[in-house]
Amino acid sequence: MNLRLELTRFLSLGYVLSSSFMFWMGLSLFTDCHSPIVVVLSGSMEPAFQRGDILFLWNRNEKNNVGDVVVYEVAGKSIPIVHRVLKQHYDRSTGEQLLLTKGDNNNGDDVPLYARGNYYLNKTKDVVGTVKGYIPQLGYVTIWISENKYAKFGLLGLLALSSLISSED
């Protein structure tokens, strides 16, 4: 075992991981979203977005308009929801924008999905961002890995095999 070679590999891995993290944080700051890229996990927005599409978000707009597609999170639920703004109005006491959303492929609005007792989303508190672009179907790899335990183990096995093969050089 060559200590210098192993240290170089470890530092290269650290460089790749830290560069990826810095890119993600920079993109988060630029877009003002804690999650600037999301994957569509359901068919509720078909035909606009399919399951597996990667969405790019922007949260620097002061308000959302009816028809905008937004990604929001509900307190207590970790999965972001991608739906279209159906109605919007402003809270008279605070001046904050309130939004009612609905999935294009759903029959009813999203009120049952909101936090208990809420009939609207608060733009500043609940909305992660507005969809500004997408790449079709590329996120299916993420869905496949997260939903298939064999895919997770297979990917880990490939990584381990790759590191064993490369260490023999």
- Report the catalytic residues: 44, 83, 110
Bridge partners of 102, per DSSP, are: 84
Nearest to 128 by CA among 65, 67, 86, 79: 79
Burial (CB count within 10 angstroms: exposed 0-12, middle 13-18, buried 19+), residue 32: middle
**Token output for 76:** 């207590």
Find residue 87's DSSP bridge partners: 100
Residue 141 and residue 143: Cα distance in Å, rounded? 5
DSSP string over 10-58: HHHHHHHHHHHHHHHHHHHHHHT-SSSEEE--SSTTTTTS-TT-EEEEE
Q: Are the beta carbons of 96 and 63 closer than 8 angstroms? A: no
Beta bridge partners of 37: 56
